Amino acid sequence: MKHLLSVADLGRDGIEEVLDLTDSFVEVSARAIPKVPALRGRTVVSLFYEDSTRTRLSFEAAAKRLSADTMNFSVGTSAVGKGESLRDTVLTIEAMGVDAIVVRHGSSGVPWQVARWVDASVVNAGDGWHEHPTQALLDCYTLRERLGTLDQRHIAIVGDVKHSRVARSDVLAYTALGASVTLVAPPTLLPPSLEGWPVEVSHDLDGVLRKVDAVELLRMQSERQTEALVPSLREYTATYGLTRERARLLPDEAVIMHPGPMNRGVEIAADVADLPRSVVTRQVANGVAVRMAVLFLLLGAGTA
Ligand code: NCD
């Protein structure tokens, strides 16, 4: 594997390879000194044109636990403000000698473009509304950990699907592993066309919750919305929020997920996010190990 741009490039076998390898990095992460020399001498740079807490820190932690050197690029403090283009920025970074570029950008397709310009490996850490493959991998890992398998499982993805790269990558990954997916959202928060999406759609959250193995809430992505897509947040929460009462409809073993950042009180009630069946912080912890597996698969050849 040279790049990780889309979940679709992995297929079922590729996803399972990452998840299986993640097991050993979960074990490394639990050690007193959570570090292995696997990527010593390699350099990983993160190139983030959009804000991020989890994803950026998670990749950085992953690279460091593999003993790679890390460099950080923030648009706010870079020469981008002086007018430097994306291509020149990328070529400048590559000239310093990097082995992998982890890129997040507000426009769909940018990681593919970067991959054409450089010899380094490129990891898509979120491109516009399009994809976020490592989030999907960590979500699959977390589900597999809690449910044993995704095969024949039923997962609901609830909320602002339209603007969510997480939803797109998750749908690809979950269905590749044999799960069925139901999207629950008001029509205004669904993509204009769902043609080719292997999903069902429902507007009845209560009905769906009764029969799922997992429910994943999506953040209301107000920063991407140019018009009012819901009458009011209060009304949205009343119909599509995972309230305390609604969470009681879930089967006993069902888990609650959220990719973060959460808007507590909007898509998920403040205390629901902290229930024992919520795996939100587990997702974050697994995210580091999954990214270690990804970086190792991309850069580890010949070092092990
Ligand atoms: C998401 C993202 O940025 O795509 N967060 C994440 O990476 N965990 C989801 C979001 O912004 O709501």
Q: Atom of ligand 1 at shortest distance to CA of 165?
A: 4
> Taking Cα atoms as reference points, which of 76, 82, 123, 52 lies closest to residue 292?
123
0.75 exceeded by the pTM?
yes
| Angle between helix 54-65 and 133-147 (nearest 10) | 80
Angle subtended at Cα 80 by Cα 77 and Cα 81, rounded to the nearest 5 degrees: 70
Q: How far is the CA of 183 from the centre of ligand 1 (A)?
A: 18
Q: Atom of ligand 1 at shortest distance to CA of 166?
A: 4
Q: Atom of ligand 1 at shortest distance to CA of 126?
A: 4
Ordered by where they begin, the domains of the chain are: 7-132+284-299 (3.40.50.1370), 133-280 (3.40.50.1370)
Q: Name, in order, each residue with C-beta under 8 angstroms of 272's C-beta and a sequence gap of 6 or more.
A: 242, 243, 244, 247, 256, 278
Q: How far is the CA of 55 from the centre of ligand 1 (A)?
A: 8
- Which residue out of 7, 60, 166 has the highest number of ligand 1 atoms within 8 Å of its CB and is therefore the one to mutate? 166
| Peptide linkage before 186 cis (omega within 30 of 0) | no
As a whole number of angstroms, the distance between CA 102 and CA 87 comes to: 15
Q: How far is the CA of 302 from the centre of ligand 1 (A)?
A: 33
| Sequence letter at residue 281 | T
Per cent of the chain over pLDDT 90 is: 89
CB 271 within 8 A of CB 243: no
| pLDDT tens-digit readout, 263-297 | 999 999 999 999 999 999 999 999 999 999 999 99
- Which residue out of 46, 135, 283 has the highest number of ligand 1 atoms within 8 Å of its CB and is therefore the one to mutate? 135
As a whole number of angstroms, the distance between CA 182 and CA 206 comes to: 13
As a whole number of angstroms, the distance between CA 38 and CA 21 comes to: 13
Q: Atom of ligand 1 at shortest distance to CA of 260?
A: 8
Q: How far is the CA of 261 from the centre of ligand 1 (A)?
A: 6
What's the mean pLDDT in 240-245? 97
Pocket of ligand 1 (CB under 6 A): 54-55, 126, 132, 135, 165-166, 219, 221, 259-260
| pLDDT tens-digit readout, 139-154 | 999 999 999 999 999 9
> Taking Cα atoms as reference points, which of 177, 147, 141, 151 lies closest to residue 23?
141
Q: How far is the CA of 80 from the centre of ligand 1 (A)?
A: 23
Q: How far is the CA of 304 from the centre of ligand 1 (A)?
A: 32
Per cent of the chain over pLDDT 70 is: 99
| pLDDT tens-digit readout, 1-52 | 999 999 999 999 999 999 999 999 999 999 999 999 999 999 999 999 998 9
What's the mean pLDDT in 223-251? 92
Distances (CA, A) of 274 to 77, 255, 256, 270: 36, 12, 10, 8
As a whole number of angstroms, the distance between CA 304 and CA 302 comes to: 6
pLDDT of residue 227: 77
* Residue 99: its H or E element: none
As a whole number of angstroms, the distance between CA 234 and CA 302 comes to: 55
| pLDDT tens-digit readout, 81-140 | 888 999 999 999 999 999 999 999 999 999 999 999 999 999 999 999 999 999 999 999
Q: How far is the CA of 260 from the centre of ligand 1 (A)?
A: 6
> Taking Cα atoms as reference points, which of 253, 228, 220, 296 lies closest to residue 40?
296
